[in-house]
Amino acid sequence: MLRTRFTEEFGIEHPIVCGGMTGVGTAELIAAVAEAGALGFLSALTQPTPAALDEEIRRTRTRTARPFGVNLTILPTVNPVPYAEYRQVIIDNRIPIVETAGANPAEHVRAFKDAGIKVVHKAVAVRHSLSAQRLGVDAISVDGFECAGHPGEDDIPSMVLVPAVSAQVGLPTIASGGFATGAGLVAALALGASAVNMGTRFVATDEAQVHDNVKQQIVANTERDTALVFRKFRNTARVARNAVSDEIREIERQPGSTFDDIADLASGARGRESVLGKGLMDDGLWWAGQSQALVHDIRPCREVVDTIVAEAEDLLGTSLPALLAR
């Protein structure tokens, strides 16, 4: 068994995390991740109302007695989000761990800490990690440039960013971006992390509630099949490359184009309904990291976690020590 600062301080069997994924982080997947001995986060804002989140937490607890968390992503939106109400649902349900992401989480961190909840904050830079540490969070999830979603504007890959954060932050760090294998887990531990976060790998599992076309596309894709969109607007996002992402990139290249010109194409609701729900792979944006090149099959969550841990233990116990000269 792999024991790290993360497993010890957070009470999780394996140093593997499934971070919050909008449209994907629902009860079926997160309970399965927990049952496999990893830590999964429900996505609060996948639920349309705080009451719906309360119900999703209850659904998850009917599927597992093991610990799981909730992700609360703070982002500017057209329609105001009742963050305080979502936060209160999390507190009232005595969720042990929360993952915050997006804008400054100071207000939420204080409330969660007062309620005895551990907080993991997602960061894309050393400076952001240090700011989160000053706020009192318990761990940092470090998003390297390879990750799906929003990797920031500095373009620093995990190989550099993870050890840079680990060297300056006195908290457990979770390496995110490019991880999907046992070798990746060992590499992350060698770089100073205490765990890895995997999103794309967990989408390609039996329990993920997305269309099978999405899972099959992840298996078929290579490391070159992602695209960076919204760079022009300094809100860079890594998505799976498809007809919509190509169209968005072409519009962004046009002088004078604005976000309004791509708003319909970039709609999150469109991606969740058309791609994740109906399997229309070229009809909307959907998130995928470069780690999809390392995903070769669709398996149950337990098999994914067990395989990664077994590979890591073999590397640490046999393969790597054998390289030492005697």
- Phi, psi at residue 150, to the nearest 5°? -105, 105
Cα–chain center distance at 11: 19
Nearest-angstrom CA–CA distance, 127 and 156: 13
Sign (positive/negative) of CA torsion 236, 188, 74, 210?
A: positive
Q: What is the pLDDT of residue 79?
A: 80
CATH class of 5-208+298-323: alpha beta
Cα–chain center distance at 49: 21
Over the stretch 263-272, which tens digit does the pLDDT of each residue have? 999 999 999 9
* pLDDT at residue 163 tops 80: yes
Average pLDDT of the segment spanning 31-43: 98
What angle do helix axes 83-92 and 50-61 make, rounded to 10 degrees?
30
Sign (positive/negative) of CA torsion 319, 161, 219, 71?
A: positive
Strand-pairing partners, residue 237, are: 229
Average pLDDT of the segment spanning 294-303: 98
Nearest-angstrom CA–CA distance, 161 and 177: 10
The mean-pLDDT minimum among 47-61, 67-81, 268-282, 310-324 falls in: 67-81
- Give the chain's radius of gyration (CA, Å): 19
Nearest CA to 162 out of 120, 200, 199, 129 is that of 129
* pLDDT at residue 172 tops 80: yes
Cα–chain center distance at 308: 17
Q: What is the pLDDT of residue 122?
A: 97
Over the stretch 118-140, which tens digit does the pLDDT of each residue have? 999 999 999 999 999 999 999 99
| Banded model confidence at residue 1, pLDDT cuts 50, 70, 90 | confident
- Map out the domains of the chain as residue ranges: 5-208+298-323, 226-287
